[in-house]
């Protein structure tokens, strides 16, 4: 139960951060991505602040060895640079650059009750389901990649390349 | 200048949220991963935590509305029809790459993950190239 509360609180804070920072406005996001136009550096400030807090906070959290209310950190264990990672990032970037929405800001923007946002989310869910189904149906396809694996119980090193 | 201060405060809140979820529950605050784990063929066993996080995301703008603070939600920039390919690409790409702006761009970079660094650099570049083509070439 307390994990649900943590999830709810973290989601709310995350959403407030998206709203206040300007990331819930696709004009701001596309303004950052538009290097050849009137460049808007807002996203740089958001990323720098978020990354600084997370870098420091994660180090403190990982130094404890395990989460306060759980036996182990569940973090991705994959280290290979593979086709799905790169092709997925390429595809994701094109979609992000078209609409100015990545998943978080799109979900938050549902509050505006705009049909365009609903369509975007619906299409995004269809895309997600398609890849998940194809992975199960055709596990041998190298371009699809395996589903994400996270570290299991007893994993000691949640950081990739960090020695604490 | 004021918007940059809000950007830093908002970014800080995003960081606090990510740290909170990791230090208490040991989880990555990656939105695409949290959402994808709720979908077919098989929702993850921890679907309640995932749903709670999404509910929090949806609540946030309503909290600001209740406080009479601008919720920062901007108007969509694409037509209904154009939202379909954009959404499909974001959905397909984020599941293939196992992460999006939050999972790779914030949580992964904060873990100093080489995979996340490559993914973030890649999607930043293709997003910038896309905007370049859409706004200055076509």
pLDDT tens digits along A110-137: 999 999 999 999 999 999 999 999 999 9
Question: pTM for this one?
Answer: 0.94
**Separation between Cα atoms, residue A104 and residue A10, nearest integer Å:** 13
> What mean pLDDT, rounded, does chain A reach?
91
* Confidence bin at B60 (pLDDT 50/70/90): very high
**Ordered alpha helix ranges (H), B21-96:** 31-36, 47-66, 80-96
Per-residue tokens: B125 = 């570049």
The number of CA neighbours under 13 Å toward the Cβ of B96 is 29
The alpha-carbon gap from A94 to the nearest alpha carbon of chain B, in Å, equals: 5
CB < 8 Å to B84, chain A: 119, 123
B67: which DSSP letter?
Answer: T
**Separation between Cα atoms, residue A141 and residue A36, nearest integer Å:** 38
Domain ranges within chain B, ordered by starting residue: 1-74, 77-138
CB < 8 Å to A63, chain B: none
Q: Is B24 in Cβ contact with A70 (below 8 Å)? A: yes
Closest residue by Cα to residue A18 from B74, B111, B19, B42: B74
Per-residue tokens: B95 = 């599941």
Could you tell me if B68 lies within 8 Å of chain A, comparing CB atoms? no
Burial (CB count <10 Å: 0-12, 13-18, 19+), residue B96 = buried
């Amino acid at each position: 139960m307390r994990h649900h509360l943590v999830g709810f609180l973290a989601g709310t804070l995350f959403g407030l951060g998206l709203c206040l920072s300007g990331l819930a406005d696709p004009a701001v996001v596309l303004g950052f991505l538009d290097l050849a136009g009137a460049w808007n550096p807002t996203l740089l400030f958001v990323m720098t602040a978020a990354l600084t807090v997370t870098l420091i906070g994660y180090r403190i959290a990982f130094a404890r060895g395990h989460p306060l209310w759980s036996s182990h950190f569940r973090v991705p264990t994959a280290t290979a640079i593979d086709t799905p990672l790169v092709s997925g990032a390429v595809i994701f970037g094109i979609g992000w650059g078209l609409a100015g929405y990545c998943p978080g800001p799109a979900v938050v923007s549902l509050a505006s009750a705009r049909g365009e946002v609903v369509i975007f989310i619906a299409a995004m869910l269809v895309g997600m389901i398609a890849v998940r189904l194809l992975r199960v149906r055709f596990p041998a396809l190298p371009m699809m990649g395996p589903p994400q694996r996270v570290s299991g119980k007893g994993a000691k090193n949640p950081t990739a390349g960090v020695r604490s | 200048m004021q918007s940059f201060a809000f950007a830093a405060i908002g970014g800080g809140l995003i960081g606090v949220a990510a740290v909170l979820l990791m230090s208490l529950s040991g989880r990555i605050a990656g939105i695409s991963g949290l959402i994808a784990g709720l979908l077919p063929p098989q929702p993850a066993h921890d679907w309640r935590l995932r749903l709670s996080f999404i509910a929090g995301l949806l609540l946030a703008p309503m909290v600001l509305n209740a406080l009479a603070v601008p919720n920062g939600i901007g108007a969509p920039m694409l037509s209904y029809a154009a939202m379909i390919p954009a959404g499909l690409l974001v959905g397909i790409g984020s599941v293939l790459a196992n992460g999006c702006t939050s999972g790779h761009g914030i949580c992964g970079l904060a873990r100093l993950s080489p995979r996340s660094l490559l993914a973030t650099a890649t999607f930043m570049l293709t997003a910038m190239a896309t905007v370049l083509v859409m706004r200055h070439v076509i």
